[in-house]
């Protein structure tokens, strides 16, 4: 049974892991293009920031720090590819280790959104 799991689950997990990394980069590009579109829409600064914050809330990000010109959005990213890799390598122990890692060790991905800057979105 263990060999069957490693033959099928592990390669699927590796493919999903790299697919997820590519999707994350594409999502950042979409976020940045949306922010630039809102920035050039002619809204007041408060309306612009509220609209951008709502976009992040709808994508399950939490706003951790908020200043007049910038804010930080953060989100813990559950990566199913990593979970499958851990399961493929260590079976049920791998599942438990990944859940412990996700719950206690994994730090959220943080994005700095600065509406006044030329580069409006930056990963921290």
Q: Which residue has the tokens 């509220």?
A: 50
Looking at the predicted structure, is the pLDDT value of residue 3 above 80?
Answer: no
Give the pLDDT of residue 92.
Answer: 83
> pLDDT tens digits, residue range 13-57?
999 999 999 999 999 999 999 999 988 888 888 888 889 889 999
- What is each CA distance from 16 to 9, 57, 91, 101, in whole angstroms? 10, 25, 18, 19
pLDDT at 66: 79
Distances (CA, A) of 106 to 34, 68, 102: 28, 29, 5
pLDDT at 70 over 90: no
Q: What are phi and psi of 44, to 5 degrees?
A: -70, 165
Q: What gap in Å lies between CA 69 and CA 45, rounded to an integer?
A: 9
For residue 74, pLDDT over 70 is answered with yes
Predicted local distance difference test score (pLDDT) of residue 98: 92
Give the chain's mean pLDDT: 88
Give the range with max mean pLDDT: 24-33, 59-68, 109-118: 24-33
What secondary structure, in 3-state letters, does the chain show? CHHHHHHHHHHHHHHHHHHHHHHHHHHHHHHHHHHHHHHCCCCCHHHHHHHHHHHHHHCCCEEEEECCCEEEEEECCCCHHHHHHHHHHHHHHHHHHHHHHHHHHCCCEEEEEECCCCCCEEEC
pLDDT average, residue stretch 86-113: 90
pLDDT band at residue 59 using 50, 70 and 90 as cut-offs: very high
What CA–CA distance (Å, rounded) separates 58 from 30? 14
């Amino acid at each position: 049974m263990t060999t069957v799991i490693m033959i099928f689950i592990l390669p699927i997990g590796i493919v999903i892991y790299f697919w997820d990394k590519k999707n994350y980069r594409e999502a950042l590009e979409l976020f940045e293009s949306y922010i630039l579109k809102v920035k050039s829409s002619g809204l007041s600064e408060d309306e612009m920031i509220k609209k951008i914050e709502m976009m992040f809330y709808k994508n399950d990000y939490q706003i951790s720090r908020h200043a007049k010109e910038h804010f930080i959005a953060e989100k813990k990213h559950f990566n199913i590819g990593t979970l499958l890799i851990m399961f493929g390598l260590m079976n049920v122990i791998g599942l438990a280790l990944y859940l412990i890692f996700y719950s206690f060790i994994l730090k959220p991905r943080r994005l700095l959104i600065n509406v006044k800057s030329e580069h409006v979105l930056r990963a921290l």
